[in-house]
Amino acid sequence: MSEDAIEKVIGRFGRYQTWILFLLFVGRLPAEFELSNVVFLLPKTDYKCLDDGVQNATNYCPCQNPEFDTSTIVSSVTSDFQLICNRKALSSLTQSMLQVGIAAGSLFYGHISDRFGRKIAVVLALLCNCIFSTLSTFSSQLWMVIVCRFLSGTALGGTMLCCFVIIIELSGKEFRAQSMAIIESAFIAAYLLLPIIAYNVREWRHLQLSTSTAWFVVVVYYWLIPESPRWLITVGRKKEAVAVLTKIAKRNNRPTEMIEAVVDQIEAESISKDSQQRGGSYTDLFKTPKIRVYSIITPFIWAVCAFTFFGINQYIGRLGGNLYLNVFLSAVCLAPSPVLLVIASLYLRRKVTMIACFTITAVALLVFLIVPKGMESVILGFAIIGQIGAFSAFVLVYLFTTEIFPTVIRNSAMGLCSVFGRIGGIAAPFVVNIGIEWVSILIFSVLALLAAISCCLLPETKNTILFNSIEQAETAHNVDKCESKSKSTHI
């Protein structure tokens, strides 16, 4: 199990994989804009109350005739639909509906991907994200905005999940960390560009159009992106797998004579004799002992990743100072994270890196409890450090989960985990809005520490091949444990 036969055929990462990675990087940008733009769509906006007898009081409640401050943002969902006073909870609901949609989309597209193929799931998710983001700009009622954010979220869930899985399945085991860093750098690119675009486009409807409409070109991806050969083999479509592998090998200037024999060998070694196992499902995540344990632990870790990252992201948007500058500085500070993750993935174990990321997040947040309120620069600095830790954990957990679960149920597992991640994302704005800062910070910190401890219960996956069947994963992880016990006894 130390050699990956597909990697030997197409190479660990050649010109063809580079081209596919570029397409996915560009195609994901609208989804990444949608993931980050909440600080500009639903900002905390000051207003003067123009009701009789109030005398232009600032942020007074209740208020029927508010005049919103337009010096920073000309129009937002907050101001257009007056999400203040007794309607403030609707702001948290509107924020969270994106996460609800991502949860639903992760399940839907995870199932589509495992049943009908990686390619159709990727193209459908990318296209739907553009459609629903554009439709939101025509909303005349708040419920329309909420529905569009939910539908955008479903596509966003599929985009984040399926793009990552298909590029990992096309990469060799020695290049998976680099692939992870590059594909997730799309978020950094969007996060850097967003405050620049928002600074020049200060009406939320125009901002949505600016970050979504041009990407309808992704429809041509159906003819540009290949199906995953690993998935084709697991579902018994051997001829198509051979054709795809031959095409990739030719593009990478590699020999093609032995491809059919290699596919026969992979099919014989990794695919269950039971024809019902050709297509995985969510129930398969809980049928066998090792996979069942992983299917319980990894969703919790995903939930904490999303909970801490989106919580800190929204908290930065509430800090004093220039909103656009704060977001841009946050993005600049996040930019080195993918490079650092690659270095850590090459020289450290996956679990050690995950534990370190969660610990950094927890400690950085705890500092908030002792920093004086007037030290805004210091507070912003530690908020960014916590965000770097949470973002790094969020990126790495995609790779970690991909390596733990076999091909036949990989997207289903990722879908389940992503659902729990979205539960964390849904909870984040409500915890931020508790109103007692030290309580919010303590909740984020404690959960980050619990996630670090939970990582200890998962198997180490560095330098392992991607398993195709459930049997392979169960056997390999059992062997790893036996070898570890043997080494300990010998020592």
Q: What is 367-411 written as a DSSP string?
A: GGGTS-TT-HHHHHHHHHHHHHHHHHHHHHHHHHHHHHS-HHHHH
Per the structure block, which two tokens stand in for 16?
């063809």
Question: What confidence tier does 126 reach under pLDDT thresholds 50, 70, 90?
Answer: very high
For position 260, what pLDDT does the model report?
A: 86
Output the pLDDT for position 491: 32
What's the whole-model pTM score? Answer: 0.75
Q: Looking at the predicted structure, is the pLDDT value of residue 228 above 80?
A: yes
For the chain, the average pLDDT equals 83
- Name the least confident of 131-135, 271-275, 304-308, 421-425: 271-275
The secondary structure element, H or E, covering residue 338 is helix 337-347
Query: Among residues 213, 205, 41, 202, which one has the least CA distance to residue 137?
Result: 205
pLDDT tens for 428-441 read: 877 877 767 788 88
Q: pLDDT per residue over 466-479, tens digit each?
A: 787 788 878 775 54
* 399 compared with 203, residue with greater pLDDT: 203
Confidence bin at 89 (pLDDT 50/70/90): confident
Query: What is the pLDDT at residue 1?
Result: 46
| Distance, CA of 56 to CA of 49 (rounded, Å) | 5
- Number of neighbours of residue 69 by Cβ within 10 angstroms: 14
CA distance 375 to 382: 11
Residue 252 tokens read as: 């990478």
Please name each of the domains of the chain with its CATH number: 5-42+83-485 (1.20.1250.20)
Which tokens go with 53? 């007898």
Cα 124 from chain centroid (whole Å)? 17
Q: Which residue has the higher pLDDT, 479 or 410?
A: 410
Tell me the CA distances in angstroms from 143 to 81, 94, 149, 311, 477, one per residue in order. Answer: 10, 9, 10, 24, 48
Cβ neighbourhood burial of 342 (10 Å; 0-12, 13-18, 19+): middle
Rounded to the nearest angstrom, the gap between the alpha carbon of residue 157 and the centroid of all alpha carbons in its chain is: 8
**Cα–Cα dist 56/328, whole Å:** 33
Residue 426 amino acid letter: I
- Name the CA radius of gyration of the chain, rounded: 23
The whole-angstrom separation of Cα 357 and Cα 201 is: 35
- Integer Cα distance of 62 and 409 in angstroms: 52
Q: From CA 258, how far away is CA 324, in angstroms rounded?
A: 55
The angle at the Cα of 300, spanning 298 to 302, to the nearest 5 degrees, equals: 70
Q: 176-200 and 142-169 helices cross at what angle (nearest 10)?
A: 150
Q: Which of 391, 276, 302, 380 is nearest to 338 (CA)?
A: 391
